[in-house]
Structure 1
């Protein structure tokens, strides 16, 4: 699971929105493409109006899917932050049983969550970690 840090989350979300807006085709671009398609079509065999409507419907579905994926990513990041915060004050035992302690703070990295114990040791939150 990909988990970004809070600081890089803000950075990546602004760069993601910039990249998305740069690569996402908006309705103006679609209309320009449609007009260019109409100008350059074969006059002896023009496209049917139903073909244009089908293209518009497909474009709308793709745009909605992109927006839904963005919103789901935001929900996932909020969920991870909430879960990480709920670890504070809990007793954690590492997967191999070598470290045990109370979670003092939680660090979020791009490759996962690390719990910092009250004794200063860090436990990566991997499968097999016991939380009580």
Structure 2
């Protein structure tokens, strides 16, 4: 039985397979470059006289902002996936251990019988009840 973390939690594998060709507004880099090229080749599209139309540095600035936004979105998705994987590994390490959890102000103590996953996030099953990892107070 040679399982990987992605075999145990398929949603983690799916979370990392996101589309990097479009940013959150749904505009692809290719579309942005086409719009920018059309705007540069036809300055009258910018709506002003020739002295107030966008300069080359404005276009470069817009391209840099678009690229930065795209990279920040990708980095955020990678960070979310990394946090999920770390949390899942921690949950696996708690299997069979005695833990104390916070259940709405009450402390619950018991052995971690199972680890479940909800949208890639780990939950612990203690005394036949499911708890999120954030309710964990003590191990051992």
TM-score by length of 2: 0.66
Aligned to 1:55: 62
Aligned to 1:76: 83
Task: Provide Cα deviations, 1:80-101, integer angstroms capped at 9, x if missing partner.
Answer: 111211211210234324x533
Mind listing any 5+ residue stretches in structure 2 that lack a counterpart? 1-7
Question: In the aligned structure 1, how far is the partner of 2:14 from the partner of 2:74?
Answer: 19
Cα shift at 1:72: 0.9
The RMSD of aligned alpha carbons is 3.0
* Higher strand proportion (structure 1 or 2): 2
State the number of aligned residues.
121
Question: In the aligned structure 1, how far is the partner of 2:136 from the partner of 2:68?
Answer: 41
Mapping of residues 88-127 of structure 1, within 5 Å: 88-95=95-102, 96-97=106-107, 99-110=108-119, 113-117=122-126, 121-125=128-132, 126-127=134-135
TM-score by length of 1: 0.69
Cα shift at 1:41: 2.3
Mind listing any 5+ residue stretches in structure 1 that lack a counterpart? none
Q: Structure with the greater relative contact order (CA < 8 A, sep ≥ 6): 1 or 2?
A: 1
Question: In the aligned structure 1, how far is the partner of 2:39 from the partner of 2:73?
Answer: 24
Task: Provide Cα deviations, 1:32-82, integer angstroms capped at 9, x if missing partner.
Answer: 111221244228414322112211211221122112112111211111111
Aligned to 2:10: 7
